[in-house]
């Protein structure tokens, strides 16, 4: 794909600011009739000055996803290979090798493409129609660059249908090993790339799990929405006296138990299948407290219109978590809702502390791991935020 199918013009006053990669339908004044869904278009400002080249899709609210800011740049297989190799070289320069996100969409100049590396296996997702048209080239390049044991497609995403694509998943290269184990810091973790959430494992919290070391030794730990136990296993390895890992999925908890045994901490990790809101309410009523509470729920706000309700949900959950934290203990709390910005998140925590009647100290701010680089000026790319608090 190197041809341009047409041009789109931004509304008066709209500009493609540095760092901006998405153009929404309400930012566009007009688009040529020749603009092809999934094709490349040039973006012009209201004075007809070139702003960039991107994938076009009139069926999506994100009508253009920027690919290049260099007019006339040839966008072909060699272009995508350069981008993929550059992304992998960047991760290696940052110290990642065994398990990491090697491609994070727009920040890596590969709009709509996500690729995670789990040992010798790759798991990928495509959410833009333009990148879908490049799928065969992308897979061939991934096979050439990484020489993986397998490449697994996790395009079982509802958002693909909004972009005009079907959902699908399956192994598209090689064969999935009977057991896939990665290393995170000092922990060995099993990954289910076939049926696990997202691409199989939440790599965006990888570096944050390593932050638990100073807060875990000798403490009782409550890990809420634990998934497969990333925080739980790290807390136990860092010396926690006892860990209670809570999730609503028994399938996830089975993996927690397997990971605990794999790391020699099964005697200190207990799993509980429960709704976290119900569990924290009951624990508060019964006066239970823990030396370290970890709260990493799924996104409550999947749209801007859902933010008010999500804010109240986060506030109530964190109020309970603060009540469950021993005086002088620690709370690690996160949100992966892109609409819950860091300032809004900390405002919510301030209100939660007031509601809990507890004083809190902010010790660390957290964000997604460095293999998920955020683009300044693109709020949606800074989706994961968190705080480590001391609750007095």
The residues carrying an active-site annotation are 336
* Cα 152 to Cα 246: distance, rounded to the nearest angstrom: 29
Alpha helices for 46-134 (secondary structure H):
77-93, 129-133
Give alpha helix (H) positions in the chain.
77-93, 129-133, 135-146, 159-162, 206-210, 213-216, 230-237, 250-262, 276-285, 307-323, 342-356
SS3 380: helix
Q: Tell me if residue 91 falls in helix, strand or coil.
A: helix
Interatomic CA distance for residues 253 and 269, integer angstroms: 11
> DSSP readout, 178-223?
S--EEEETTEEEE--TTTSSTTSS-GGGHHHHHTTHHHHTT-EEEE
Structure tokens at 105: 């969409």
Contact partners, residue 84, CB within 8 Å, separation at least 6: 103, 110, 138, 141, 142, 145
Pairing assessment for the beta strands 325-335 and 385-391 based on DSSP bridges: antiparallel
Angstrom distance (rounded) from CA 74 to CA 13: 29
């Amino acid at each position: 794909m190197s041809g341009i199918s047409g041009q789109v013009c931004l509304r008066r006053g709209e500009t493609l600011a540095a760092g901006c990669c998405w153009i929404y339908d309400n930012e566009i004044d007009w688009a040529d009739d020749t603009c092809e869904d999934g094709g490349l278009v040039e973006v012009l400002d209201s004075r007809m000055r070139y702003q960039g080249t991107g994938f076009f899709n009139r069926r999506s609210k994100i009508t253009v996803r920027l690919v290049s800011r260099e007019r006339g740049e040839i966008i072909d297989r060699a272009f995508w290979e350069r981008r993929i190799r550059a992304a992998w070289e960047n991760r290696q320069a940052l110290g990642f090798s065994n398990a990491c996100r090697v491609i994070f969409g727009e920040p890596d100049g590969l709009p709509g493409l996500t690729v995670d590396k789990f040992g010798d296996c790759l798991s990928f997702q495509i959410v833009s129609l333009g990148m879908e048209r490049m799928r065969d080239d992308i897979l061939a390049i991934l096979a050439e660059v990484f020489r993986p044991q397998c490449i697994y497609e996790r395009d079982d995403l509802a958002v693909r249908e909004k972009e005009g694509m079907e959902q699908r998943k399956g192994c598209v290269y090689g064969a999935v090993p009977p057991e896939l184990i990665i290393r995170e810091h000092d922990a060995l973790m099993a990954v289910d790339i076939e049926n696990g959430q997202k691409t199989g494992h939440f790599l965006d919290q990888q570096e944050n799990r390593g932050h638990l070391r100073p807060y875990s030794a000798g403490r009782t730990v409550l890990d809420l929405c634990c998934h497969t136990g990333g925080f739980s296993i790290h807390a136990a390895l860092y010396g926690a006296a006892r860990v209670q890992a809570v999730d609503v999925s028994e399938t996830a908890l089975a993996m927690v138990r397997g990971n605990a045994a794999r790391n020699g901490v099964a005697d200190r990790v207990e799993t509980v299948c429960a709704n976290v809101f119900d569990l924290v309410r009951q624990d508060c009523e019964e006066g239970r407290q823990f030396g370290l509470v970890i709260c990493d729920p799924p996104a409550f706000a999947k749209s801007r219109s859902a933010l008010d309700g999500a804010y109240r949900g986060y506030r109530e959950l964190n109020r309970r978590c603060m009540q469950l934290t021993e005086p002088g203990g620690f709370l690690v709390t996160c949100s992966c809702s892109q609409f819950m910005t860091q300032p809004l998140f900390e405002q919510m925590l301030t209100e939660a502390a007031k509601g809990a009647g507890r004083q809190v100290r902010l010790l660390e701010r957290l964000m997604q791991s460095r293999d998920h680089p955020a683009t300044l000026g693109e709020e949606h790319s800074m989706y994961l935020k968190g705080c480590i608090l001391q609750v007095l």
